[in-house]
Amino acid sequence: EVQLVESGGGLVQPGGSLRLSCAASGFTFSSYDMHWVRQATGKGLEWVSAIGTAGDTYYPGSVKGRFTISRENAKNSLYLQMNSLRAGDTAVYYCARAMDTANAFDIWGQGTMVTVSS
Amino acid sequence: EIVMTQSPATLSVSPGERATLSCRASQSVSSNLAWYQQKPGQAPRLLIYGASTRATGIPARFSGSGSGTEFTLTISSLQSEDFAVYYCQQYNNWPLTWTFGQGTKVEIK
């Protein structure tokens, strides 16, 4: 079964750091671009970061310089290092796989909650 | 930055009726557009990619159309399981960005 499972969420103080992980199974992880998407409670979806199969990375302005996406193909794992966290980063964070024929996201994890609060 | 605008914010439809959802891009994204369905407490599910291609396992009552800046998702005959929030997303090739619309909630009339 093709699956993504996120972990690492929790409560962190403003200015703090957190590292999220996403474990992939059921497909050749190294062959796919991967993404992180977040969703604040009651709000819409926001793309957070992307990493290509060659390790190229992309970020929107809202997290650039604070978040770092990485991957470890030998462990079928995707990561998101989040630094200088703000209250506005509070959300459920999903990892998602991009299709090999289009950049739409065909597989999603169940999400992990990140709460930034003092 | 490409901005995606969905309308309406909420659509009230009776079961069995047709639902038409709109999505507009602030600049051309060609056919690099996807639609997702999200139910409460669940991750989004891919419905449509390439503006009009149904994803694996998606029923034929879901159809997508459009190109450039104007896109439509049509649900031909709403079933009870279709009441959810729908998001459009552009994945333009360059500059490489992935932007979602703010969502349309399809609710029971």
Q: Does A28 touch chain B (CB under 8 A)?
A: no
Question: What is the pLDDT at residue A72?
Answer: 98
Q: 10 Å Cβ neighbour count for B23?
A: 28
pLDDT over 80 (residue B95): no
Question: What is the pLDDT at residue B81?
Answer: 95
Mapping DSSP to helix (H, G, I), strand (E, B) and coil, where does residue B80 land? Answer: helix
Minimal Cβ distance to A110: which of B43, B101, B103: B43
Question: What is the pLDDT at residue B51?
Answer: 97
Chain B residue with Cα closest to A94: B43
Q: What percent of chain B has pLDDT over 90?
A: 90
pLDDT over 80 (residue B96): no
Identify all chain A residues contacting B1, using CB atoms and an 8 Å cutoff: 61
Q: Does A100 touch chain B (CB under 8 A)?
A: no
The string of pLDDT tens digits covering residues B70-90 is 999 999 999 999 999 999 999
Banded model confidence at residue B92, pLDDT cuts 50, 70, 90: confident
Chain A residue with Cα closest to B40: A42
Question: What is the pLDDT at residue A103?
Answer: 87
- Full pLDDT tens readout for chain A, 118 residues: 999 999 999 999 999 999 999 999 999 999 999 999 999 999 999 999 999 999 999 999 999 999 999 999 999 999 999 999 999 999 999 999 999 888 899 999 999 999 999 9
DSSP string spanning A54-114? TS-EE--TTTTTTEEEEEEGGGTEEEEEE-S--GGG-EEEEEEEEPSSSSSEEEE---EEE
* Mutation site, B71, B91, B100, interface A, largest A CB count within 10 A: B91
Chain B residue with Cα closest to A106: B46
Chain A residue with Cα closest to B2: A60
Minimal Cβ distance to B102: which of A44, A47, A111: A44
Contact A104 B45 (CB under 8 A): no
Mapping DSSP to helix (H, G, I), strand (E, B) and coil, where does residue B52 land? Answer: coil
Q: Between chain A and chain B, how many beta carbons pairs sit less than 8 Å apart?
A: 62
Q: Is B104 in contact with B11 (CB distance < 8 Å)?
A: yes
Mean pLDDT of chain B: 95
Q: Does A44 touch chain B (CB under 8 A)?
A: yes
Helix (H) or strand (E) run with residue A21 in it: strand A18-25
Alpha helices, DSSP H, located in B1-109: none
CA atoms of B49 and B25, how far apart (whole Å): 15
Q: Is B34 in contact with B99 (CB distance < 8 Å)?
A: no
Please enumerate in sequence order all residues whose Cβ is within 8 A of that of B58, keeping only pairs 6 or more positions apart, or say none: B46, B47, B48
Q: 10 Å Cβ neighbour count for A51?
A: 22
Contact B46 A46 (CB under 8 A): no
Minimal Cβ distance to B43: which of A61, A94, A102: A94
Residues in chain A: 118
CA atoms of B79 and B37, how far apart (whole Å): 14
pLDDT over 90 (residue B9): yes
Q: Does B87 touch chain A (CB under 8 A)?
A: yes
Looking at the DSSP bridge assignments, the partners of residue B65 are B72
Banded model confidence at residue B93, pLDDT cuts 50, 70, 90: low
